[in-house]
Amino acid sequence: MSHATLISTFGVSLLLLAFIGSSSKIIAQQSLAYWLLNLLGGALATVGAWLIGSVPFVVLEAVWTGASLVGLVKQLRRQG
């Protein structure tokens, strides 16, 4: 398995963990864990997509990562 595939698989797994955790009410959608899983998962998936040259998925995952960063910053401001 290539490095790109490993990176992408780990990133997508984190995104799915956040989704499943949120859907099953194990992780609150406004929790730090939720935002961090999405941020790290999106960032890794972006890198993996970049490494394989999949521009549409680079855009998708970069936007996902950016939205997660905004959500994380808002959550940190609420808590602080």
pLDDT digits over 27-45, tens only? Answer: 999 999 999 999 999 999 9
Tally of domains within the chain: 1
The rounded distance, in Å, linking the Cα atoms of 23 and 4 is 28
Q: Are 18 and 38 in contact (CB under 8 A)?
A: yes
**Distance of alpha carbon 51 from alpha carbon 1, whole angstroms:** 13
pLDDT of residue 80: 75
Residues of the chain with pLDDT under 50: none
- Per the structure, the complete domain to which residue 59 belongs is given by 3-79
Would you state the pLDDT for residue 31? 94
Name the burial class of residue 65, with classes exposed (0-12), middle (13-18) and buried (19+) by CB atoms within 10 angstroms of its CB: buried
pLDDT at site 25: 96
